Amino acid sequence: MAWENQTFNFDFILLGIFNHTSTHIFLFSLVLGIFTFAIMGNTVMILLIYLDNQLHTPMYFLLSQLSLMDLMLICTTVPKMAFNYLSGRKCISLAGCGTQIFLYVSLLGAECFLLAVMAYDRYVAICHPLRYSILMNQKICHLLVLSSWIVGSLDGIIVVAVALSFPYCGAREIPHFFCDVPALLTLSCTNTLLFERLMFICCVIMLLFPVTVIIASYLQVIVAVIQMGSGEGRQRAFATCSSHLMVVGMYYGAAMFIYMRPVSDRSPTQDKMVSAFYTILTPMLNPLIYSLRNKEVARGLMKVLGKGSLQSKLPN
């Protein structure tokens, strides 16, 4: 009974990332602007790929799934952070904390594998163009995406089940702006070393395995691009691949920094800054990177906007 009182009958306190100084008010406003842009950018990408028939290809289907994951990821953390900051209430219930952990761990894991699938897609498209319709047909593409979602969800279930099984005591103040597992573990009344090792193994699987697939795919792509006779084809391949590599670099670099270090080596300030980068800034940058560096996306956007403009001018 004492353990139940200790674990289930309280709220956690999120210390947040901002205070009410003028500088932090500006930074908070900037975060809200980034959040709004990320919501609009990713929603436009999803709708554009759905509406434009010329974008109904495996590469753009994967891109729409990336936008969906980014949309869900930023909505997992920012609204609660904004509500707590504006209302002055910093608490989050155990259920709310568990929901946050499950969603962001699942989405991070799913996105890891999706980025590997996107790298494989580019490898097949550039190195085996004649077999592309066979190796990346609609059925295989959907199966790979579904597998990414399932693996991510399983990771989320395991992490949240174990993390919430520990008793928590003391001030119950999480030095973060959302329920991040490493920050939560510092509040546990028991030794969490075994779970930290389990998390490290999960991170090796969820991060290093996809990274290996991405590196292997792009080594083959680089060799194939260098051997291309057409300058235009080489330029187009580099443009497509460089966009993906920018996203991979930002995403995996931040995730490895956060989740592949022992809890004892962590700095709350560093963790909050890096977490803000990959949970807030990266979802805003992804649609921007792909739309600015991809002529098909830009052409599709102009096409959809042109149709809407034409329809608005037609008489009823």
- The CA distance from 59 to 125, in Å, is 9
* pLDDT > 70 fraction of the chain, expressed in percent and rounded: 84
- The CA distance from 213 to 204, in Å, is 13
Predicted pLDDT at 37: 92
Contacts of 128 (CB under 8 A, 6+ apart): 135
Contact (CB, 8 A) for 287 and 243: no
Place of tokens 């509500």: 83
Within 10 angstroms of residue 96's Cβ, the number of other Cβ atoms is 16
Q: Can you name the residues that pair with 188 across neighbouring β-strands? A: 168
Q: How confident is the model at residue 3 (pLDDT cuts 50, 70, 90)?
A: very low
- What are 1's two structure tokens? 């009974």
Greatest Cα pair distance in the chain:
73
pLDDT greater than 60 at residue 69: yes
pLDDT greater than 70 at residue 265: no
Predicted pLDDT at 2: 40
Burial of residue 37, with CB atoms counted within 10 A of its CB: 0-12 exposed, 13-18 middle, 19 or more buried: middle
User: Worst-scoring range by mean pLDDT, 22-26, 40-44, 49-53, 146-150?
Assistant: 49-53
pLDDT (tens digit, 9 = 90+) per residue, 232-258?
A: 666 766 666 777 777 777 777 777 776
Structure pTM? 0.85
CATH superfamily of 13-295: Rhodopsin 7-helix transmembrane proteins (1.20.1070.10)
For the chain, the three-class secondary structure string (H helix, E strand, C coil) is CHHHHHHCCCEEEECCCCCCCHHHHHHHHHHHHHHHHHHHHHHHHHHHHHHCHHHCCHHHHHHHHHHHHHHHHHHHHHHHHHHHHHHCCCEEEHHHHHHHHHHHHHHHHHHHHHHHHHHHHHHHHHHCHHHHHHHCCHHHHHHHHHHHHHHHHHHHHHHHHHHCCCCECCCCEECCCCCCHHHHHCCECCCCHHHHHHHHHHHHHHHHHHHHHHHHHHHHHHHHHHCCCCHHHHHHHHHHHHHHHHHHHHHHHHHHHHHCCCHHHCCHHHHHHHHHHHHHHHHHHHHHHHHHCCHHHHHHHHHHHHHHHHHHHCCC
pLDDT greater than 80 at residue 180: yes
pLDDT greater than 90 at residue 272: no
Predicted pLDDT at 139: 93
Q: How confident is the model at residue 207 (pLDDT cuts 50, 70, 90)?
A: confident
- What are 245's two structure tokens? 């590599």
pLDDT greater than 90 at residue 6: no
- The CA distance from 139 to 238, in Å, is 27
Q: Identify the residue with better confidence: 251 or 260.
A: 251
pLDDT greater than 90 at residue 124: yes
